[in-house]
Amino acid sequence: MAKQQAEAANPANEKLKALQTTLEKLDKAYGKGTVMRLSDAKVMDVPVISTGSLGLDLALGVGGVPRGRVVEIYGPESSGKTTLTMHCIAEAQKSGGLAAFIDAEHAFDKGYAEKLGIDTSQLLIAQPDNGEQALEIAEQLISSGAIDICVIDSVAALVPKAELEGDMGDSKMGLQARLMSQALRKLTGVINKTGCCCIFINQLRDKIGVMFGSPETTTGGNALKFYSSVRLDIRRIGQIKDADNVIGNRTRVKVVKNKVAPPFKVVEFDIMYGEGISKAGEVLDLAVDMEIVKKSGSWFSFETNRLGQGRDAVKDMLKDNHELLEILEGRIKDKIKNDENALLDTTEPNIEDDGTPE
């Protein structure tokens, strides 16, 4: 009796009981897990979809692009934005997921998608007439709960209906920014609830009259920048040649924003024409950087074995030797676990995005 009176007199116990009762009511009204403690293990586990790039998966800190979140991928023209999202779609399909591609640019290449491993017979594609229609289609597909990944290509092509119906030269200040802001307010909750990964591809523009800092900015206003859990800056930094023929691009990706792991990590990989991201080349480069594979002059060696002479020759050898490729991949992952700063870039991001609409 005395113990019960002591418990009743303790205000902390009363608060905990009241909190537990409230949590049970919320779970009953809105579903289990509506409000959770941050210490719960399942809160910290972020389900992901692989990007198709080992280095980028590691740089993102969780193994890929997070499900239930908004992701923005931006960069200059022909930098590999659509290629990267196609790899994400292919990886989602490999794990049994369904994908949707909202092709606002009306430039989807079926043949290229199939070369990157996408099963086009299972891919949902829409080519909307205007921005409102595109975002409405995306919302309804995501709301169904059946879509694992939805790609919108691109924000710059989401033209508001009012702009399409107006005359050429009419000033429509901020229309696209308002459209994106309204759409993301509606989409974010649905995306999180269904566990769909929604990727927006964006383009770059130059701001006029910028004296200090980068003049580059992304289109579509400020909203996407704030709502995105992950923002990736992708750039072409060089060409890959076979004699005089250009056969691919060297690409650099910087994680400019990351809400699920530490940001500002940078990775580089090869994007080969007609093939996509070169896994063998990326694994070799990471292994050399982390001193798993030793490089002496033009010779590469792993443990006591010589792999070959010249990067291209070793890359071709790794393409055929899947067993060795998996061993090197495992060593790289172990090294990253032991040294979280292995992919860290100390420079500031080179995009100063104030969200200014075009």
> Can you say which residues are annotated as belonging to the binding site for ATP?
75-82
Which positions ≥6 away from 106 have C-beta within 8 Å? 127, 157
| Rounded distance between C-alpha atoms, residue 51 and residue 90, angstroms | 9
Q: Is residue 168 within 8 Å of residue 34, measured between CB atoms? A: no
Strand pairing category for 70-74 and 299-302:
unpaired
C-alpha closest to that of 138 among 89, 200, 45: 200
Tell me phi and psi for residue 299, to 5 degrees: -95, 140
Half-sphere exposure of 108 (CA within 13 A, CB side): 23
State the CB neighbour count (10 A cutoff) for residue 348: 11
Listed residue (357, 121, 327) closest to 217, CA to CA: 357
Binding residues: 75-82
Record the tokens describing residue 50, joined without a space: 């692989």
The token pair at 137 is 């289609």
* Residue 90 φ/ψ, nearest 5 degrees: -60, -40
Distance of CA 213 to the CA centre of its chain: 25
Select from 89, 96, 150 the least CA-distant residue to 115: 89
Judged by DSSP in three states, 216 sits in strand
